Structure 1
């Protein structure tokens, strides 16, 4: 009988045939799919990673309960499926007092809502109530009692320059100018300011405690005007009238 062929001898030396590359690839793909399915089940189907608590921080005027009600978070839903953008949108829509919301997931069971409330810098009188206006000029709340330390806005537009300013800039722009003035006031002046009076775009004045008046001018060069006003008040403590509309040429008078 003839002996083994050359091919048979080589096969005995190299051992049994290896599985084809395609088979190994199928095995790897199967294991990856199995792992992905397990991960998806843990994230979406298991009871281990579901929303159980919503924590609220940062409230001052509002209560945490009001924020929770506005958020309407889907408790017991998979934590990963919670739409944080939708939560933020609902809160800001339902509660105009909220300026911003930082929504965060805390695994395995919690959502955190850190809110920042708007701060009033001016008040608009409306009948017996007051509209709060923030530093961006946003009218965000109507309250029955005026918050302490917040000046009132008084419209005193005259027939000529006031009417011209209203036509040219509009009421919202004039309001923003008044807001800008209130925001630029140094702390020592801000706490004594009772009224911000708008006569025109270029003529905004402040009424302070002690029957003192400050002619501020427009909202431009606010920082320079603030620094000048502080220095002027220190130099003339008995003055009752101050003019910083041109900060490089300020003036003060006893009456």
Structure 2
């Protein structure tokens, strides 16, 4: 019987040197997967250790910026940042809440991780726009009507708020309807609408009811403001009125389209 042809021998040789069996491929894939999984575990464990277990990324310093009346030491003490703890584990929301609770003078605060060792506290303090006299001291009120601090000395250039709201008679209805806090906010809105030159000369903002707000200026001058509504129009009208009657001591802009002045 004749031997195999050259073509047949080449075909057998190609089959014998062909691709590895399926089982071998599966073993290679499994080995690769195991190696990758082990590598990921090692890298993950190392990362966790660096972030939480090592001394490389722990809180060592607390910086404070933005203070005006408060001192950095007061803010740092109230924040009670856990020095020595891993930087990543610091609860920034809890620090912010503590600062707001302990220091009402703080309006906003941003707690920032500054790698590798610092927590930064960026503070914005409330600014008083009115003062309420109380037992020989002064309660500061900000532009949101929030009473945030009591001081023994009045800040320079901040007018006093005088609430002369009767609890009996016709004006008592305004107090019952709006409440004292709302009336304070109305006074804040009125003060915020004053032209800069008038605000500088304002000594007292008086509130008798929701629509009966008046201002006492330097030199014994009085401005009847009315309610806090149409504040921008009232401010423009008051500026024009003061220019037209520079010697007047009484100005009424409660109806800005029909102002009046008197008492030269």
- Structure 2-normalised TM-score? 0.89
| Counterpart-to-counterpart distance in 2, 1:162 and 1:11 | 108
Which residue matches 2:134?
Answer: 126
Distance verdict in 2 for CA 1:211–1:21, change over 3 Å = same
Cα RMSD, aligned residues only: 1.9
Distance verdict in 2 for CA 1:209–1:22, change over 3 Å = same
> Is 2:151 the counterpart of 1:148?
no
Unaligned runs of 5+ in 2: 1-8
| Counterpart-to-counterpart distance in 2, 1:167 and 1:20 | 83
Which residue matches 2:227?
Answer: 218
| Counterpart-to-counterpart distance in 2, 1:10 and 1:105 | 64
1:233 deviates by 1.1
1:26 deviates by 2.0
Which residue matches 2:4?
Answer: none
Which residue matches 2:172?
Answer: 163
| Counterpart-to-counterpart distance in 2, 1:10 and 1:161 | 110
1:82 deviates by 0.7
1:235 deviates by 1.6
1:146 deviates by 1.1
Distance verdict in 2 for CA 1:12–1:184, change over 3 Å = same
> Is 2:58 the counterpart of 1:53?
no
Unaligned runs of 5+ in 1: none
1:14 deviates by 3.8
| Counterpart-to-counterpart distance in 2, 1:252 and 1:230 | 12
> Is 2:209 the counterpart of 1:204?
no
Q: Which of 10, 18, 37 in structure 1 is aligned with 2:15?
A: 10
Which residue matches 2:193?
Answer: 184
Name the SS of the counterpart of 1:215 in structure 2: strand
Which residue matches 2:52?
Answer: 44
Which residue matches 2:145?
Answer: 137
Distance verdict in 2 for CA 1:59–1:7, change over 3 Å = farther
Q: Which has the larger radius of gyration?
A: 2
Q: CA-to-partner distance for each residue in 1:121-149, whole Å, 9 max, x for gaps?
A: 11111111111111111111111111111
| Counterpart-to-counterpart distance in 2, 1:209 and 1:42 | 65
| Counterpart-to-counterpart distance in 2, 1:101 and 1:10 | 75
- Structure 1-normalised TM-score? 0.92
1:63 deviates by 0.3
> Is 2:123 the counterpart of 1:115?
yes
1:81 deviates by 0.8
> Is 2:236 the counterpart of 1:227?
yes
Q: CA-to-partner distance for each residue in 1:1-26, whole Å, 9 max, x for gaps?
A: xxx9x999635444694434233222
Runs (4 or more) in structure 1 with deviation over 6 Å come to: 6-9
**Larger mean Cα displacement after TM superposition, 183-192 or 9-18:** 9-18
Q: Count the aligned residue pairs.
A: 251
Q: CA-to-partner distance for each residue in 1:74-100, whole Å, 9 max, x for gaps?
A: 111111111111111111111111111
